[in-house]
Amino acid sequence: MAIVHPGLDGVILPKVESAAGLATADWLLAQLEREQGLMPRAIDLVPIIETARGLNQIDAILAAGTRVKHIAFGAGDFTLDVNMAWCRDEAELAYARANIVTASRAAGIETPFDTVWADLRDADGFTHSAERAASLGFQGKMCIHPDQIAVTNAAFSPTEQQLSWAKRVVAANGAAPPRGTADIKKGVIEAVSWYSARSTPQSLEAIGGAVSAYLAKRAQIADSEVAGFGQLSPTHLLEAQQAEIPHKKAKASGPDQTPPRGD
């Protein structure tokens, strides 16, 4: 597949509905990484949950033992699949969003990415959508236009007020959470508040670290195309399930060359 080459950050896998389908995509990427001389699992794989069946099978999907570190939610196809109106305030998405965030946490992977916002004319609606996703536990939002990037970064980064509060809480209680409750400027905080406060500056540092690592990676790739995410279609997966892919310089110690089978 032409999309797999040095410099590719990851692959978006739409409409994942089963553990077997995800395992097939993971296997296919492993073979292509080897053909391209890439490190095993160098390419990220982000499955999108965007059907009722995918949401129903999310625990099995995340237990498939693949390279997946985070998943994404696709509201457009999801609402179409369940015959649901996709409204501006997105209240109808609360159930699916909560399930995706909770399942990610239970599986021990990173928090997920939220759905795209399709109406490019409604900037305020996009801002509200990003802020709501952040409050529900998502780590970011998929974007379809450059104008959405700055809004997304702002929505998923701690504000100055949040950072100030976090620093005061941690300073008032030291390196360990309070036993019971503690006062801070006539406000009462508990251990859960301390953990939240401690994670706030850490999340900001993580964002900065991720950006620095990304820029460093880009600097190491000379004369490459713009890095980003490719997409695997259902046709690619069907072909992978039906026949093994021929390999050049296959190594006995490499990944299993037999594609996984299943529903």
CA-wise closest residue to 3 among 45, 65, 47: 45
Residues 37 and 129 in one domain: yes
Residues 203 and 241 in one domain: no
Residues 98 and 3 in one domain: yes
Q: b/e for 93-127, b at 16 or more Cβ within 10 A?
A: beebbebbbebbeebeeebbbbbbbeeeeeeeebb
Residue 256 structural domain? 1-156+233-263
Q: What is the pLDDT of residues 80-123, one digit of tens each?
A: 999 999 999 999 999 999 999 999 999 999 999 999 999 999 99
Residues 148 and 163 in one domain: no
Residues 137 and 12 in one domain: yes
Residues 42 and 18 in one domain: yes
Residues 147 and 251 in one domain: yes
Higher pLDDT residue, 23 or 190? 23
Could you tell me if 62 and 101 are in contact, meaning their C-beta atoms sit under 8 angstroms apart? no
16: pLDDT strictly greater than 70? yes
Q: What is the pLDDT of residues 129-177, one digit of tens each?
A: 999 999 999 999 999 999 999 999 999 887 777 677 666 766 665 555 5
Higher pLDDT residue, 52 or 215? 52
Residues 162 and 152 in one domain: no
Residues 103 and 83 in one domain: yes
Q: Is the pTM of this model over 0.85?
A: no
> How many independent structural domains does the chain possess?
2
Residues 179 and 221 in one domain: yes
